[in-house]
Amino acid sequence: GAGVSQSPSNKVTEKGKDVELRCDPISGHTALYWYRQSLGQGLEFLIYFQGNSAPDKSGLPSDRFSAERTGGSVSTLTIQRTQQEDSAVYLCASSLAPGQGASYTFGSGTRLTVV
Amino acid sequence: GQQLNQSPQSMFIQEGEDVSMNCTSSSIFNTWLWYKQDPGEGPVLLIALYKAGELTSNGRLTAQFGITRKDSFLNISASIPSDVGIYFCAGQGSSYKLIFGSGTRLLVRP
């Protein structure tokens, strides 16, 4: 597609359940990033994928969070045993060239609500 | 995680007025970026700044990269209703990570 696609756009889940969030980056973009946006806050870095290199997971808040990127394209962010503090908008971005912030294109995000 | 200090948190202004918002950081950045986010959408880049002291315009928007490399401001002149949204600053150092401010929510009264 023309832009970064994220699904679902909204997800309501019960506390303790696992959720999977999906990101389809722009075709040909080798760099992919996940950010989290809590209510009234800026975006917080979670994880970065670049080609076949090992991902930078330094922003993941706990071991309940994990992410994969299969075939250098689609990425899934998994949150296990969700907690209410996990409620946020999860944004994915991709870029053709890593490291150039101005080239990042963001998706519309997945709004996660844990009840 | 690390965040920038962005102010003001919100502004409610009359259509036609000018707006100014700024960000400060304790760290030096190589790039300053300004984004706008509409409800239900991801941030969209407005202006990118790459050099200390740089002043860049995009239509009614003007942004500057502070001389100390620790601050930036964004001005919007002659605001219109479609300027409504949340504006974010972001700084980038030597890594690929963007550090975001907490946003300025702009409301414009027709």
pLDDT tens figures, A1-51: 579 999 999 999 999 999 999 999 999 899 999 999 998 788 999 999 998
Q: Share the mean pLDDT of chain B.
A: 94
Confidence of residue B63 (pLDDT cuts 50, 70, 90): very high
For residue A15, the distance in angstroms to the closest alpha carbon of chain B comes to 24
- For A43, other C-beta atoms within 10 Å of its C-beta total 31
**CA B74 vs CA A75, A94, B8: distances in Å:** 34, 25, 12
B23 token code pair: 């960000």
What pLDDT is recorded for position B94? Answer: 85
3-state secondary structure A9-59: CEEEECCCCCEEEEEECCCCCCEEEEEEECCCCCEEEEEEEECCCCCECCC
Write the residue in B1, B6, B31 that is nearest to A101 by C-beta.
B31
CA A9 to chain centre: 12
For residue B31, the distance in angstroms to the closest alpha carbon of chain A comes to 8
For A41-79, write each residue's pLDDT tens digit.
889 999 999 988 899 999 999 999 999 998 879 999 999
Q: B42 and A98 in contact by Cβ < 8 A?
A: no
A30 token code pair: 């080798």
For residue B78, the distance in angstroms to the closest alpha carbon of chain A comes to 26
Chain B positions contacting chain A at CB under 8 Å are: 1, 3-4, 6, 31, 33, 40-45, 48, 88, 90, 92, 95-103
